[in-house]
């Protein structure tokens, strides 16, 4: 029987312990069990979360994170992992049963079959699917063609945060998470080891107004990511999104990566179509469940 403990924030020691569990789960499953937002909230002093630890004989067997701020629909969002040593022993079920049940949504990264079985057992159903697609960039890539009068430059920390957040909000006002990105969120990511302003491409018109951006990310020397492509709705439909995407892909290839991944909502047919035409293929999917 697992012993459960809640924490409003994590100490350095607890964060390290949870990190080791997450690394063990990722090593077996081949996909990270929690997203980047959770990793940021695991830092000592971070607020807006609750952390649930499940121990068996004193050893950390499971970890769950609850985002109390929730998504734009008012849902609390949870992500969890069970250490490979303690799987199929009721730890995952104990974690889920202990979570706040009202307006709860739970992510299962990579669409793990064990998560699907547990969801079915506990009365959860699939309500959202986030596709992960990938592209080999050693093949020929079309050159980006920017609309007339549009220029690209790299992001400048301390100067461009507000403009990026404004365009991001307009571009993603429909999105449960992305639309709520704040200036503080951008600045926090600037402190991440992976952040590279040269890979954060901004598109401006002749009046120096930001029209859109492509924020790239390098995970490993071999793997990059189309992290966020955002285009102001007033500038959509003229090919800017495709040009920004291609500009970012060329930048990532110049960094030496072999493959590029991205996430896209499964019901965003237009975006899936664009990425498919560029050569992206389905890798796997993250699934969100709700009762």
Known binding residues: 36, 80-82, 177, 217, 225, 229-231, 236-242, 263, 268-273
* CA atoms lying within 13 Å on the CB side of residue 274: 17
The token pair at 32 is: 């990270």
**3-class SS at 112?**
coil
The Cα–Cα gap between 61 and 177 comes to 29
Give the CA angle between residues 281, 282, 286 to the nearest 5°: 150
List the binding residues for acetyl-CoA: 80-82, 229-231, 236-242, 268-273
Question: Strand 125-136 to strand 151-154: parallel, antiparallel, or no bridges (unpaired)?
Answer: unpaired
| Ramachandran sector of residue 256 (left: φ over 0; alpha: ψ -120 to 50; beta: rest) | left
Question: Strand 76-82 to strand 104-108: parallel, antiparallel, or no bridges (unpaired)?
Answer: parallel
Q: Please give the full DSSP string across 49-68, using - where no structure is assigned.
A: EEEEEEEETTEEEEEEEEES
């Amino acid at each position: 029987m697992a012993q459960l403990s809640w924490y409003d924030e994590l100490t350095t020691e607890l964060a390290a312990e949870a990190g080791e569990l997450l690394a063990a789960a990722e090593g077996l499953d081949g996909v990270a069990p929690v997203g980047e937002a959770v990793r940021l909230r695991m830092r000592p002093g971070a607020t807006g979360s609750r952390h649930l630890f499940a121990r068996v004989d004193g050893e950390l067997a499971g970890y769950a994170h609850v985002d109390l701020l929730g998504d734009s629909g008012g849902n609390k969002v949870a992500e969890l992992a069970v250490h490979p040593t303690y799987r199929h022993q009721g730890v995952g079920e104990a974690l889920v049963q202990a979570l706040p049940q009202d307006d709860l949504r739970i992510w299962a990264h990579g669409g793990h079959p064990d998560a699907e079985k547990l969801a079915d057992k506990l009365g959860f159903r699939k309500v959202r699917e986030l596709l992960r697609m990938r592209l080999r960039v050693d093949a020929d890539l079309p050159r980006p063609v920017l609309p007339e009068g549009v220029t690209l430059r790299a992001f400048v920390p301390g100067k461009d945060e507000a403009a990026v957040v404004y365009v991001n909000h307009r571009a993603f006002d429909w999105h449960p998470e992305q639309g709520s990105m704040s200036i503080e969120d951008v600045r926090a990511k600037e402190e991440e080891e992976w952040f590279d302003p040269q890979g954060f491409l901004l598109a401006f018109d002749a009046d120096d107004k930001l029209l859109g951006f492509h924020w790239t990310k390098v995970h490993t020397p071999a793997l990059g990511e189309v992290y966020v492509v955002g285009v102001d709705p007033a500038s959509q439909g003229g090919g800017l999104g495709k040009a920004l995407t291609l500009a970012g892909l060329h930048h990532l290839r110049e960094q030496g990566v072999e493959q590029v991944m991205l996430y896209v909502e499964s019901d965003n047919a237009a975006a899936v179509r664009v990425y498919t035409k560029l050569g992206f293929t389905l890798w796997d999917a993250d699934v969100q469940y709700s009762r």
